[in-house]
Amino acid sequence: MINKMANTTNGNGNLVDEFEEAFQSCLNVLTKDDALTNMDKDEIRAEVDQTMSRVIDLARQTEAYFLQKRFLLSSLKPELIVKEDINDLKTELVRKDELIKKHYDKINQWQNLLMDLRSAQALNPMGQAGPGVGPGPHQGQIMGQPNGLPQGGPPPGMAPGTPGSNMPANPQQMQQQQQQQQQSQQQQQQQQQQHQQQQQQQQMQIQQQMQHQQMQQMQQMQQQQQVPGMGSPQQSMFMGSPSRAPFQPSLQGPLAYLEKTTSNIGLADGRR
């Protein structure tokens, strides 16, 4: 195919050979020692620009030639283009498979790390603190002991002094503890509300009793005023009863009722 390439404008050789010669001449300008010593900088720059422009021109012509040939090949024999595309896709699939395999290896490593962490947390479910640091108050309340340990010693599967006792608690157990704390808080709030309601009910009962007593006293006073033969307090003062003093301060409540009854008894005896 290269031997059958179209000739250049001067008709000498093919595009590939001319491109190679132009590239070599561009390198020779920069690598010659005589040219650097005997020629001026302006002459060297002009020669380099000339050779570079020729290299770029030949490169564009070569690219256009190969694109034309590929277009003819795709129109005359499209199966070759399809085969090339298939090969490219196969190489791309192989590369993606290798990348996926690497990702799976990393995922397996992370899963192993998580399994090790869970096994350590299973051995130390409450996440005991290091030496000199006691457990939190919530842990002791949940476990029923002041030091946060269950009755009968350390948890099963954890001997005293077992390494890894400083591992954090299991997330599930932490969630359970939080739920228990929330439930206890809700119970306390409910108890407080019930206590407040009971106090309010007691206050209401006391107020009702006081109102009832006041009503009874008012009724008694009205009944005493409606008794026949009983004069007003002013008349009793002028009539003069032997059993009463000439002047006494007015009393209220049961004492006033007792005084009036005794005064009525004396008046009845005098009339007889």
pLDDT in tens, 137-153: 444 444 444 444 445 45
Domain tally, the chain: 2
pLDDT at residue 105 in the model:
95
Which is higher by pLDDT, 7 or 176?
A: 176
15-31 and 41-76 helices cross at what angle (nearest 10)? 160
pLDDT at residue 28 in the model:
84
Contact 48, 88 (CB under 8 A): no
Report the Cα–Cα distance between both ends of the chain, in Å, rounded. Answer: 164
**Average per-residue pLDDT for the chain:** 73
Of 76, 98, 128, the residue that ends a domain is 76
pTM reported for the whole predicted model: 0.30
Q: How far apart are alpha carbons 230 and 234 in whole angstroms?
A: 11
* pLDDT, mean of residues 18-27: 88
pLDDT at 12 over 90: no
Q: How far apart are alpha carbons 78 and 74 in whole angstroms?
A: 5
Q: Structural domain of residue 51, as residue ranges?
A: 1-76
pLDDT at 193 over 80: yes
Q: How far apart are alpha carbons 202 and 196 in whole angstroms?
A: 10
Across 65-79, 128-142, 171-185, 238-252, which has the greatest mean pLDDT? 65-79
Residue matched to tokens 């350390």: 154
Instruction: Tell whether 15 and 82 lie within a shared domain.
Output: no
Q: Three-state SS for 122?
A: helix
Instruction: Tell whether 85 and 69 lie within a shared domain.
Output: no
pLDDT in tens, 101-160: 999 999 999 999 999 999 888 887 655 544 444 445 444 444 444 444 445 455 554 544
pLDDT at residue 169 in the model:
54
In a domain, residue 83? The reply is yes
Instruction: Tell whether 49 and 68 lie within a shared domain.
Output: yes
Contact 225, 258 (CB under 8 A): no
Instruction: Tell whether 4 and 68 lie within a shared domain.
Output: yes
Query: Which residues, other chains included, contact 138 with Cβ-Cβ below 8 Å and sequence gap of 6+?
Result: 177, 181
pLDDT in tens, 160-184: 444 444 444 577 788 888 888 888 8
pLDDT at 65 over 60: yes
Which is higher by pLDDT, 4 or 64?
A: 64
